[in-house]
Amino acid sequence: MDLDLLLALLSGSLVGLLLGATGGGGSLVAIPLLVYVVGIPVQKASAMSLIVVGYSALFGAWQESRQKRVHIPTALVFSLTGVFGAWIGAHGHQLVSENVVLFLFGNLLLFTSLWTFWQPHNNQGSDAATGCAKHFSWPCAFKASAIGWGVGLLTGFFGIGGGFLIVPALMLLLGFPIRLAIGTSFLIIALISIGGVVGHLNLASLDIFLTGLVLLGSVLGLVFGSRVTRSISSHHLRRCVAILIGAIGLGLILDNGRHLIF
């Protein structure tokens, strides 16, 4: 197999592995892997990332729905505003240079890493539904739509799935247990990605075969990643992912900050 194709398959596998294990970590590493490992320009990598993460998340949502771990009303309301936010974010991506996008993305990764790593180890392993997970009222719908708008903007601008924001938001603001939050985030990611893909594809042509190869690796990694969560505590898994995300973010800041300064 050609080296570029092998790298694409392996990169997709890592994206799917983290996506399946955490419900969002894979979307954070997709852009750096596609740009620096596979060698795809940022614009095309953003569109490809949304396609890969979106379809992989849809597969994950189907898997989780069989275990009744997807809250469909929340996912639909959350995604309704998220799709439009992603479409706007994708067009905003065209207004800045690639180095600026990657530098900002690195800062986002580093912030997310620190926030995730130092999050207190509380009842994240509990399966008890509280708040909006138990009773989805009109105030819950309003909160879900507001959060969805903000997540959608980031999704479209950076070409990410947004699960690293969706899962904590569902848990902390809407009262979802960790497993239900991850399952619901899969469906939200898949739906929100549609807006970003449409926005990016207006200005970016894709290598369909290469995209398919990354997607194949992502689906295989997602299946394995979903099984990992059964044998590793969510607390330790979260910290391992936080360290990986932080290292990637720091690398992006240093590399692209150098280009911006000099």
pLDDT band for position 38 (50/70/90)? Answer: confident
pLDDT confidence of residue 75: 92
pLDDT confidence of residue 201: 61
Give 155-179 as a DSSP string: HHHHT---HHHHHHHHHHTT---HH
Q: Which residue has the higher pLDDT, 219 or 3?
A: 219
Q: Which residue has the higher pLDDT, 195 or 13?
A: 13
Domain that holds residue 78: 3-261
Q: Which residue has the higher pLDDT, 218 or 4?
A: 218
pLDDT band for position 130 (50/70/90)? Answer: low
Contact between 30 and 53 under an 8 Å Cβ cutoff? The reply is yes
pLDDT confidence of residue 129: 63
pTM of this structure: 0.73
pLDDT confidence of residue 124: 47
pLDDT confidence of residue 221: 86
Number of domains the chain contains: 1
